């Protein structure tokens, strides 16, 4: 863990005023809102107050960068424009549309949430905190984000960008990924809430963290609320976080099995990739020959090495196995590492003409 800051001069009159003075908080919100209206990015989910579109964007943006999400968001709304359309879709169709974004539990939760809204609220999510909180996959942050962006209510929403802004603004010395640190961050978020206009306020905090109050090289000199910030003198010290877990290496050896131009895939049943198709595991140990495909990818605190080897067809298929023609392969929902491997290997005629 980064050493706990011991800089009394950072606990300055600025943060004390924010904590104790309502006029100081009003001024902070005015400056932040004016800056956002002038500098905020034009993102597709900021052009709507539709609760469905906001929910889609928020689940997509979890652990995924804005630039990656934008085309997925627009294609998703074209295919599933509302809760009813999504609720009526098959899970395989939903997973295929999500393919490439990873963390597929988000897609399943979104699908479940759509069915929940159709069954409980006739397809229209109400402006009600309990109704929002009851949606599958919606935690404290997402609940606040939907309330803010869809209904413009003053509701605290703390994502990674906002947590970093608040940790610097109030010079929070506890690790923000600890119970005590998280509690202080949420208390700070609630302290700064406006009486009205929750969407503008939350957007401003989020955008400040994305554009100026960045993890590295924060631009304090042009920050619109620098005068209020207790950490402006040494922003690199915040936020404090617990020491990361060491990465563990894992091997994933899979089989490339082709029969009459069709590829064998296996549908997953576990929590990680349930419903997705992937290359079947290689029977026995890895052969001495080099793999047809090799790549690494991260998964939580693991670094997985995926190797794909040529293998013969089984005498009998397992209940979760199926042959896929080249056309069907394109429509199958695969996790990204296996999609990249399958696309690369299927593009080699010699590996399909078996």
Where in the sequence numbering do the catalytic residues fall? Answer: 58
Token readout for 305 is 């090495």
DSSP 231: T
3-class DSSP assignment, residue 259: strand
Closest CA to 16 of 238, 240, 205, 229: 229
The residue behind tokens 């790549």 is 295
> Burial code of 311-329, b = ≥16 C-beta within 10 A, e = fewer?
beeeeeeeeeebbbeeeeb
3-class DSSP assignment, residue 93: helix
Q: What residues have CB less than 8 Å from 227, skipping those under 6 apart?
A: 14
Token readout for 71 is 């085309």
228 CB burial (10 A radius; 0-12, 13-18, 19+): buried
Half-sphere exposure of 299 (CA within 13 A, CB side): 17
Which residue spans within the chain are E strands per DSSP? 248-256, 258-259, 262-267, 277-278, 293-299, 302-310, 321-324
Q: What residues have CB less than 8 Å from 296, skipping those under 6 apart?
A: 303, 304, 305, 306
CB–CB of 151/218 below 8 Å? no
CB–CB of 177/242 below 8 Å? yes
The gap from C-alpha 300 to its chain's centroid, in whole angstroms, comes to 13
């Amino acid at each position: 863990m980064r050493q706990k800051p011991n800089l009394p001069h950072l606990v300055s009159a600025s943060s004390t005023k924010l904590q104790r003075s309502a006029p100081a908080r009003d001024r902070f919100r005015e400056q932040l809102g004016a800056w956002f209206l002038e500098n905020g990015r034009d993102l597709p989910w900021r052009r709507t107050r539709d609760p469905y579109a906001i929910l889609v964007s928020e689940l997509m943006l979890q652990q995924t960068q804005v630039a990656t999400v934008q085309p997925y968001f627009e294609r998703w709304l074209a295919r599933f424009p509302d809760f009813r359309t999504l609720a009526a879709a098959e899970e395989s169709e939903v997973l295929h549309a999500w393919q490439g974004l990873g963390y597929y539990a988000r897609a399943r939760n979104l699908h479940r949430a759509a069915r929940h809204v159709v069954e409980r609220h006739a397809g229209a999510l109400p402006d009600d905190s309990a109704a929002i909180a009851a949606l599958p996959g919606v935690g404290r942050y997402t609940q606040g984000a939907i309330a803010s962006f869809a209904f413009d209510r003053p509701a605290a929403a703390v994502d990674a960008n906002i947590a970093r802004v608040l940790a610097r603004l109030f010079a929070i010395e506890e690790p923000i990924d600890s119970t005590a640190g998280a509690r202080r961050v949420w208390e700070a978020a609630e302290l700064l809430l406006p009486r009205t206009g929750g969407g503008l306020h939350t957007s401003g905090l989020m955008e400040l963290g994305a554009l100026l109050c960045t993890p590295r090289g924060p631009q304090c000199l042009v920050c619109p609320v620098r005068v209020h910030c207790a950490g402006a003198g040494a922003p690199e010290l915040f936020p404090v976080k617990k020491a990361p877990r060491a990465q563990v290496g894992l091997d994933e050896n899979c089989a490339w099995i082709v029969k009459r131009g069709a590829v064998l895939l296996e549908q997953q049943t576990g929590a990680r990739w349930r419903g997705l198709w992937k290359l079947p595991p290689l029977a026995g140990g890895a052969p001495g020959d080099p793999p047809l495909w090799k790549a690494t990818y991260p998964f939580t605190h693991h670094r997985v090495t995926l190797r794909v080897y040529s293998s013969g067809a089984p005498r009998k298929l397992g209940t979760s196995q199926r042959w896929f023609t080249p056309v069907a392969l394109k429509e199958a929902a695969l996790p990204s590492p296996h999609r990249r491997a399958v696309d690369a290997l299927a593009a080699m005629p010699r590996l399909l003409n078996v």
